[in-house]
Structure formats: structure tokens, C-alpha cells
Amino acid sequence: MLDKFPMQQILNEEGKVNPDAGIDKISIEQIKHFYYLMLRARLLDKKSVKLQRQGRIGTYVQYEGQEAAQVGSAAALEKGDWMFPTYRDHAATLTFGHSMRNLLLNWRGRIEGGLPPEGINIFPPAIPIASQLPHAAGAAWAEKKRGSDRVSLVYFGDGATSEGDFHEGLNFASVFQVPAVFFNQNNGFAISVPMEKQMNTKTIAQKGLGYDMECARVDGNDILAVYFAVKEAVERARKGEGPTLLEAVTWRYGAHTTADDPSKYRDQSESEKRRETTDPLLRLERYLKNEGEWEDAWTAALQEDINKEIETALEEMENYPEPDMSQLFDHVFDVPTWTIQEQIDEHLAVKGRKS
């Protein structure tokens, strides 16, 4: 089956372009902008890991190494489209316009962390595995019924394809031919379980065949391959040609979360090798150097600007008003059940108030 789903690649590890890939469709300025977006995402990720270690945010879910998959896919959307992320896809949501301050608030357990800026359609990050796929299919169906050309892009990992929600989401999308793009980031591990122990298929892309939908496999560390593959899928969806399943094969350097120790189940030396070979930022750097478009001063200025942005967002997060604990009960039921009401009354009594 691997031969039926070859890995689509535009930019190889040496920063050289496939001559048949249509690279003339994208400018050096756009490629530099992609580099900026990935660098911004990586610096925020590195900072967030440090913040967790310092006790300034809670358990954090890192994504370093997956920047091309997330940034490239998000860049293919238009304002008004829908994005359905997992708990790991803050590089994608940041690219699509999410507030950096709110992304940090999310890791402090704040409800505001799930709220995107006005007019940007980002669903709150899904913590249960695969639950966002039926949501994305439903939103796409709603847009189709409205007669709009808006598209849903939904993210999920390889482990999510073992969940029932994955199959329900794809089946619904296929039956109703909704404008949705199902974007899998195949990191090779569902926490500690390698791909070969959770499925018998050789690819995730081939699972789309069972739902008679377009499906393809791309190099998830090649931002150009990701961008053009998602852009093509989005354009198909806008024209009413149905959903697509894309598998982006990538590699995350760090742990599943800051509470995980990947050395117990994965050879961590592989990550160090990949930093020198398949790294998505290094690949663009090599391309720009090959084209004579790389300047160290430009990169240094980018890092300085991004670090200032991160520090500003961090200051805003840490100066944010303390939460009202009664918010715990606000979104459980429209009308509280008697069990919830008892908890509310008990909480308010401790606070010296009445409901």
C-alpha cells in the first residue's frame, strides 16, 4: 500500500526543490514569511516548556518538530473558515490568528484560553482523543446547508484513527459530501504506542479509501508540500467536491507532554539525528541559503521581535485578573441539576454568599 500512497515532497532535506513541484507559484517573500511563522511557533513552544518547569503554567503539550505540518496547513485557510485543533495544535491556531496571550492562559487552566479573537473561527482545543472530528464534519455540513463556501480543517494524531469518532466523522463527511479537510499528523507514536502496534494498515491515508474520499500522504516536515496539499484540498472542498483525508508524516522531538518521559519507549537519539536532517526550519534555511536569500541579521531581528512579543504576552497572562471559581459551574448544564446546585450552594457558602 505504501507504493499507492507515495510521500509527496517539494523541498527535500538539503533545501532543494523538486523541479516538477511548481515552486514558481510561491515567492521568496512567502517562503520567508513561512520561516517567520515557524520560528515564532518554535520560540513560543520552547518558552512554554520553560514556563512549565518554573511552575508558571500547568502541564504543557509541546510540538517542536511539527511546525511545518501545523503552520503550512493553517496558512492554506481563509478568514471565515473553521479550525478544529487538538490540545497540541497551538502553532496552527497561532498562525490562524489566535491570541498568544490566550494561548498561554489556556495552560493556566483559564476558560479564556479557548476563546479566539472576534471573527476567527477556532473551536476550543479538544482534550478527548478524536472528539473534534464529528464536530468538524458537523460544522462543515452546516456551512454547506447555509450555501457558504467555508471549509473545516480538523487536526488529529495517529492514535485518534483508532477511535470510533474518527470513523464516524469521516463516514458522516463522506455521506453528506461536506467541505472538510481531515489533517492527520502522524508522529509515529500514540503516547507510548508505536503505529505498527495500533493499526495493521501501512499508512493512515489509505483509511480514506473506505469512505471513498480523496486521500494523500505528504512529508509533514516540508512546509511547501503541506501548504500546497492542504490548499488543493481546501479548494476542492470550496467547490463542493467533498472531503479529503491527508496524512502528514512528521516527528516531534520532545515528550507527549511535560508529564511524560519518552525515553521509556522511544530511542531519543533519533530526535537528535532528525534535528540535523528533517528539521522543518533547517530545511527552509538551507533553501534560502541555496537561493542566496539568507541573512543572519534578518534571522536575528526576527528572533528579537518574536521574543518581545512572547514576553509581552507572558506579562499580560501573569497580570490577568484572578478567576472566579464559580465559573466551574457555568457551562455544565443550562439549568443546574440538583447535584450541581448542591455543589454551587456549598461553594458559595464557603465564600460567604448565597445563590
Residues with catalytic annotation?
252, 256, 265
d(CA 101, CA 98): 9
Helix (H) or strand (E) holding 215: strand 214-219
Burial letters for 84-121: b for 16+ Cβ neighbours within 10 Å, e otherwise?
Answer: bbbbbbbbbbbbbbbbbbbbbbbbbebeebebbeeebb
Report the C-alpha dihedral over residues 230, 231, 232, 233, rounded to 10 degrees.
Answer: 50
d(CA 101, CA 286): 32
CA-based nearest residue to 315, from 112, 118, 43, 104: 104
φ/ψ of 17, rounded to 5, equals -95, 140
Report the greatest alpha carbon distance in the chain.
72
Are 154 and 132 contacting, i.e. CB atoms less than 8 angstroms apart? yes
d(CA 346, CA 341): 8
